Homo-oligomer: A and B are copies of this chain.
Amino acid sequence: MIVVWFLIKEGFKGLVRSKFAGAFTILIVWITLTILGLGYIIGRDTINAVNSLKAQFDINIFIRESASQEKIQDFADHLKALEEVEDFTFISKDKAAQKFQKEFGKDIYSVLDYNPLPPSFNLQLKPIYRNLASVESITSDLSEFSVIDEIKYKKNFLVMLEKYQRVILYIITGAFLLLCFISIILISNTIKMAIFSRRNTISTLKLIGATNNFIRAPFIIEGVLQGFLGASLASGMIYGLAYLLNNHLQSVVQYTVELNLPIFAVIVSFGSVMGLLGSIRAIRKFL
């Protein structure tokens, strides 16, 4: 017990003894995890932005002039029952006229004394069905209905979005994984470097009979502390940056960062675990 207590104290003292090397480890963890955290937030928000763009995708279903009110109602009921449909609105002939006015700058009644525009449904699909395959199968199913004259949707928009969404998702995920990998490499090598600069201490301790565990314990405690401190600084930094953005730079960037506790918990745990594993791995090299 007394030795355990001694080793814990040694771990804390190591923070000071390692001098520049220890401070450098903390700095590296700090910087790395700050980047990792910001990378995660930026990636998350970019993906969200793309998804909200995709939310603008809709399908227009034009109804035959001749369709009876009843048949239209039947069709609406069918739409309501569809698994894939998130929401839909009925655009009556009147509403279509308003839309015409917007698109072509003319009141249809000033040109004609009746309204030639057909009524239609505007349909939003659930996010997971907003892809070409689903849309095509749904529209081909719907076009069986006799009330329907024609179904229109922005196929190009969908194709483009699908393509870019995939690119963006791949790039962001790839970049994030790469960043994680690099962080791990960086932190563990920095710890190795810091321990390398004290290899004489290690070899002397071995020579005077210290067991590997006796030598290792303080270094590991020190590594965890460094990881913890670096990660805490990173959390503080991310919080600070987000606070700055949300409260003082709103007018400039008009972008709000949402933060929640789990992000910080993950960062601090990641830092500490990296400190733990990094120092275990590093010390093995010099034992």
Residues on B with beta carbons closer than 8 Å to the beta carbon of A62:
104-106
Q: On chain A, which size bracket covers the interface?
A: 35 or more
A252 CA / B173 CA spacing, docked (Å): 13
Residues on B with C-beta less than 8 A from A252 are: 166, 170
CA distance A21 to B198 in the complex (A): 12
User: Would you call A265 an interface residue if the criterion is a C-beta within 8 Å of the partner chain's C-beta atoms?
Assistant: no
A231 within 8 A of B: no
Q: Which of B96, B104, B175, B193 contacts A42 (CB 8 A)?
A: B175
A105 with B152: CB separation less than 8 A: yes
Does residue A182 face the partner (Cβ distance < 8 Å to B)?
yes
Q: Are A24 and B193 in contact (CB under 8 A)?
A: yes
Q: Out of B117, B166, B196, name the residue touching A253 (CB < 8 Å).
A: B166
Given contacts A171-B42, A252-B170, contact A193 B35 (CB under 8 A): no
For A31, what are the chain B residues with a Cβ–Cβ distance below 8 Å?
A: 182, 185-186
A182 and B35 contacting across the interface, CB-CB below 8 Å: yes
Name the CB-closest residue of B to A39: B175
Q: Contact check: which of B21, B112, B149 meets A105 at CB < 8 Å?
A: B149
Take A42-B171, A196-B21 as given contacts and tell me if A254 and B105 are in contact as well, using a CB distance cutoff of 8 Å: no
- Bound-state Cα–Cα, A254 to B170, Å: 11
Instruction: Specify the main secondary structure of chain A where it touches its partner.
Output: helix
Q: Which B residues are CB-close (under 8 A) to A164?
A: 49
Inter-subunit contact A167/B105 (CB<8 Å): no
A273 to chain B, nearest CB (A): 20
Give A35's nearest chain B residue, CB to CB: B182
By a CB distance below 8 angstroms, the chain B residues around A108 are 116
Option from B27, B60, B116 in Cβ contact (under 8 Å) with A189: B27
Any chain B CB within 8 A of the CB of A118? yes
Asked if A28 is at the interface of the complex by the 8 Å CB criterion, the answer is: yes
Complex interface residues of chain A between 142 and 171 (CB less than 8 A to chain B): 149-150, 152, 163-164, 166-167, 170-171
Task: Say yes or no for A3: interface residue by CB 8 A criterion.
Answer: no
Residues of B within 8 A of A186 (CB): 28, 31
A208 to B44, CA, bound (A): 59
Residue A6 lies at the interface, judged by CB distance under 8 Å to chain B: no
The answer on a CB contact under 8 Å between B105 and A116 is: no
Residue ID in chain B nearest A255 by CB atoms: B167
- 25 interchain pairs, CB-CB under 8 A: A21-B193, A21-B196, A24-B189, A24-B193, A27-B189, A28-B186, A38-B175, A42-B175, A96-B104, A100-B104, A102-B152, A103-B103, A105-B149, A105-B152, A106-B117, A106-B118, A108-B116, A111-B116, A163-B254, A166-B254, A167-B253, A167-B255, A170-B253, A171-B255, A193-B197
